Every structure is written in structure tokens, then in C-alpha cells.
Amino acid sequence: MGSGRLTADEREFLARNGFVVRENVFSASEVADIKTACEDLVKRLVAERRRRRYHVGSYTFEPNNDQAVMIKWEGDSDVVHGIEPFAHLDPALKAWAHDSRFLEPMVDFVGDAHPNLFTEKLNLKRPGVGGVNPMHQDYPYWLDSAKEPARVATAMLFLDDSTLENGCLRVARGSHASGQWRNRTDSDEFGANEIDASAYTHIAMEPLPLRAGSIVMFGSFLVHCSEPNRSPHERRALLFSYQPAGHPTMVDSMNAATEARRRARAQQSTPTT
């Protein structure tokens, strides 16, 4: 540990803006290996899909409790938008999460000498069909599953060049400094997690186009989003989220919830005398 820790300039930039970018962190051949592993996982999960989907806000979800994974689809199509968590499903992808190029800067983001993986997301914006990621902070999403949601931080690795046309990440500079923003209260359960954009029309969501192999890192209060992929090019990215050591992972929380539901069902079906 040591060389990949945040520099003084990066620390100062992070405090002011809420994110840090590092370009060309992973080589083209490393990115190619990661993409192959990701596409293999996607193929496997598509083959095992169950079509028990529900729509919330702009997302279509399919929970798979047996494998502790949530798949996001592009509506009712067979195109995957996202997979979370996934490290427990693929040892090679799990190994990348422990690469020092992620772990060392995360020491500073998480504020722990030994940050642990909390959850991971594979986000796919397929050419021409990859959908929007609405304006949000990660914090409300972590509230139910993370022990210290304010300390969870994410490193996003771009597997393709991300551009204005294919839906690069957009961030609100400095947005992390004002805690939790006002979220939608209009309808679905997810509204509580997405920012009420109508209350923040004056906020500029700044595009961060980045080459494949680059990473952007941010904490749970940075406001961010991305547009649909309107281009003929892929825009794939991995997001590894870290937390202080000793806390349960997202998979642990999902398995505990599945077990609690199983017990409740068993109790309900036990005849009383």
C-alpha cells in the first residue's frame, strides 16, 4: 500500500468537487480481459432469466434471490442495463475489485486502512438502447444495506471510451458538500432514492467523458447521472463500492433478507394448535 493513495492535489480537488479522476489506469489488454469476463457473466444471467420483472421509475428490475443478484433490464427487452452485485458470481471479476489501483485510493475515500468491498455493479449502456441513469446520490440507496452509508465510496472503471453520445457520467461539482439532496416524493418506492430534478433545474450536470481504462471515484453524496446511449458504440462500466472493514456486504444483506422472508413464510404455514 502507499503509491496509489490520493496525492495532496487530489485530496484538495476531492474536498472541493466531490470526485477524483485518474486516466489510463488499466491497460487495453486488462480492459479486454475484464470485458470478456463481464460479457460471459451477462450471457449466463440472460440464459437464466426468469421474467419476474417489475418497473420502478425508469428502471425494470428482476431480483434473483437464489443467486443474490438484481438484474436491471432495458424495459421488457432482453437487453441488460445493469447487474448488482456480481463479485460472488465470478472469481475473476472479484479479483479485480481487490486490485491496489482501486484499494489504495479507497483508503482515503473510505477513511479506513483496509477498505472492504461493499457492492459492485456492472452497468451496460448498449448502442442505441442503453437507458438513462437518473440524477441521484448513492447515499439513499445504501441506507438499508450499508452499516455506514455515508462512508461508502465508489470507483467506476470505464470499459469503453465514454462520450457525450454514448452516455458518459455527469456530475454536479461540489454537490457532495450539502448532504442529502431533496428526492422525488411523487410516486414509486424508488422516488425516495432519486433527486427531485425539478427542484434543481439551476444545477449543471457536467459531462466527464473518459477513455476506456480510466476511473472516476466519488463518495456517496456526489450527485451524478448519465444520459441514454444514442450512439452505435458500447458504453460499459464497472462500479466497485467500498466500505470500512468489518461490515457486511450487500450480498450478506440480501441473503439475510431472503432468509428472513423464508422464515416468515415457514412460520405462517405452520399450523397452530
Ligand X SMILES: O=C(O)CCC(=O)C(=O)O
Binding pattern to ligand X, positions 97-116, x when CB under 6 A? --------------------
Contacts of 242 (CB under 8 A, 6+ apart): 102, 103, 106, 109, 110, 115, 116, 117, 118, 152, 153, 154, 155
**Shortest distance (Å) from residue 273 CB to ligand X:** 50
Nearest of 253, 264, 29, 227 to residue 141 by alpha carbon: 253
Rounded CA-CA distance 190/59 in Å is: 9
**Shortest distance (Å) from residue 268 CB to ligand X:** 35
Q: Is 169 in the site for ligand X (CB under 6 A)?
A: yes
Residue number of the CB atom closest to ligand X = 226
**Shortest distance (Å) from residue 237 CB to ligand X:** 5
Among 88, 121, 126, 151, which residue sits at the site for ligand X (rule: CB under 6 A)? 121
Q: Which is nearer to ligand X, 123 or 145 (CB)?
A: 123
Rounded CA-CA distance 118/122 in Å is: 14
**Shortest distance (Å) from residue 202 CB to ligand X:** 21
**Shortest distance (Å) from residue 170 CB to ligand X:** 8
Among 60, 116, 123, 193, which residue sits at the site for ligand X (rule: CB under 6 A)? 123
Q: Is 137 in the site for ligand X (CB under 6 A)?
A: no
Q: Which is nearer to ligand X, 214 or 269 (CB)?
A: 214
Residues 206-245 that bind ligand X (CB under 6 A): 224, 226, 237, 239
Q: Is 189 exposed, middle or buried (0-12, 13-18, 19+ CB in 10 A)?
A: exposed
Contacts of 43 (CB under 8 A, 6+ apart): none
Contacts 24+ apart (CB under 8 A), 67-71: 68/251, 68/254, 68/255, 68/258, 69/45, 71/45
Interface contacts to ligand X, rule CB under 6 A: 121, 123, 133, 138, 169, 224, 226, 237, 239
